[in-house]
Amino acid sequence: MTDVSAGPGRDWRPVRRLLLGLGYQAAAVAAVAALLAYFALNAAENLATRGLHLGFGFLSQEAGFRIGFSIIDFTEADSYGRAFLVGLVNTLLAVAISIVLATALGFAIGIARLSTNWPLSRLALGYVELVRNLPLLLHLLFWYNVALRALPPVRQSLSLGGLAFLNNRGILLPRPVLEADLAGAPWSFLAWAAIAVFVWVWNKRRQAVTGEAFPAAMVIFLLVSGTALLLLASGLASLTWELPVLRGFDFTGGLRLTPELAALIFALTVYNASFIAELVRGSILAVDQGQTEAAKALGLGRGRILRLVVIPQALRVLIPPLSNQYLHLLKASSLATAIGYPDLVNVFTGTVLNQTGRAIEIVLITMLVYLTLSAVVALATNVYNRLAAIVEN
């Protein structure tokens, strides 16, 4: 073997390419840093000209305004920091409910698109083509101005069995009131989490050895629900329902879903479900037809084939684009400001910015919040994708 490092004919081309690559990368980083420094200096100079300075001390100042809807306590005497928290919680509430509903509706419509029942599949196709080709903002305005604002006034509310009511001020539902000694709640949660992890790991190992499926989710659900029923029956905990009651000019009690929140959830759910339905349909079609034929040869029915054979394999294709759809839903929730729902953008980038004039700090915080939430959604879907993936030897 020839020692090329010692001889005069040593090939320096790899080293040269490496140095050139490092040089280009360093130049790119330096250009970006110079551009950021220019913007920072320019902003600092403009702020100094106007007698302003950067800082986050305004977050502790008194807000002095009310927020129309909040699931945490907020008054005019609270700080701008708490107003930021209210907007963030309102955003998370709408996004979480919409993701769950859009996923369930999208799965149902996607499976209906592949149904052999011709009217059902055509109906699902019509839904997808009608809904996804209209702008999301138009959906939002339709649900808020046409569907919900057209409901009758409070005194003529639509009653659903005397339990729930619909009117132009929102949707009123029974509110569960749980009374129990919560001193041991954290330890109970950890105990149930440990049991759930143990059952899940045991089921994975058992299925890898025997190939037999075990209804782990059903067992965990029965254990949790059985314990809850036992606590209620023994009197250690009590669960009552607070019904909405009409008193004077409005309802009191119960759980109120404001028209703004309901319109936002309906719009995000209906719009994103049309895209999720197409993702589900495409993922199912990506599964080899031979898998379905083999399952039929084993005597499995259509429902069990879909649940046990097709869907688990389709998830490997579905999860990555589904993650993108969730990210789109999260960012699209900022359109809530068009109907006055007090989400993060409406409260923090709207009212708080107008009152304080802290545009740089507020926009920077809002951007970081959305970047963090997007990263959390992407991380969660990636983790689920790993768990749902089929391990191949």
- Dist CA 252 CA 243 (whole Å): 9
Which contacts (CB < 8 Å, 24+ apart) does range 107-111 have? Answer: 107/276, 107/277, 107/280, 109/273, 109/274, 109/277, 109/280, 110/276, 110/277, 110/278, 110/279, 110/280, 110/281, 110/284, 111/280, 111/281, 111/284, 111/306
**Could you report the per-residue pLDDT of 203-262, keeping only the tens digit for each?**
777 777 776 767 767 777 777 777 777 777 766 677 788 888 888 888 888 888 888 999
Categorize the per-residue pLDDT at 120 as very low, low, confident or very high, splitting at 50, 70 and 90: very high
DSSP 8-state code for residue 163: T
Q: What is the pLDDT of residue 367?
A: 94
**Could you report the per-residue pLDDT of 135-167, keeping only the tens digit for each?**
999 999 999 998 887 888 888 888 888 888 888
**Alpha helices for the chain (secondary structure H):** 13-49, 80-113, 118-132, 136-141, 185-210, 216-234, 259-286, 289-297, 302-304, 311-332, 344, 353-356, 359-388
DSSP 8-state code for residue 9: T
Instruction: Give the three-class secondary structure for 69.
Output: coil
Token pair for residue 377?
């959604």
Q: What is the pLDDT of residue 104?
A: 95
- Per-residue pLDDT, averaged over 339-367, amounts to 90
Instruction: Give the three-class secondary structure for 366.
Output: helix
**Adjacent-strand bridge partners of 160:** 164
- Dist CA 195 CA 188 (whole Å): 11
- Strand arrangement, sheet containing 170-173: 158-160, 164-167, 170-173, 255-257
- Indicate whether this model's pTM tops 0.75: yes
Categorize the per-residue pLDDT at 348 as very low, low, confident or very high, splitting at 50, 70 and 90: very high
**Adjacent-strand bridge partners of 158:** 166
- Dist CA 127 CA 134 (whole Å): 11
Question: What mean pLDDT is reported for the chain?
Answer: 85
- Dist CA 223 CA 229 (whole Å): 10
- Dist CA 393 CA 377 (whole Å): 29
Assess whether pLDDT exceeds 90 at residue 361. no
- Dist CA 229 CA 220 (whole Å): 14
- Dist CA 15 CA 57 (whole Å): 52
Q: What is the pLDDT of residue 1?
A: 44
Q: What is the pLDDT of residue 236?
A: 66
Assess whether pLDDT exceeds 60 at residue 192. yes
Higher-confidence residue of 50 and 277: namely 277
- Dist CA 292 CA 310 (whole Å): 7
Token pair for residue 73?
């306590």
- Per-residue pLDDT, averaged over 114-129, amounts to 92
Identity of the residue numbered 44: A
Categorize the per-residue pLDDT at 9 as very low, low, confident or very high, splitting at 50, 70 and 90: low
Token pair for residue 63?
């807000």
- Per-residue pLDDT, averaged over 302-313, amounts to 83
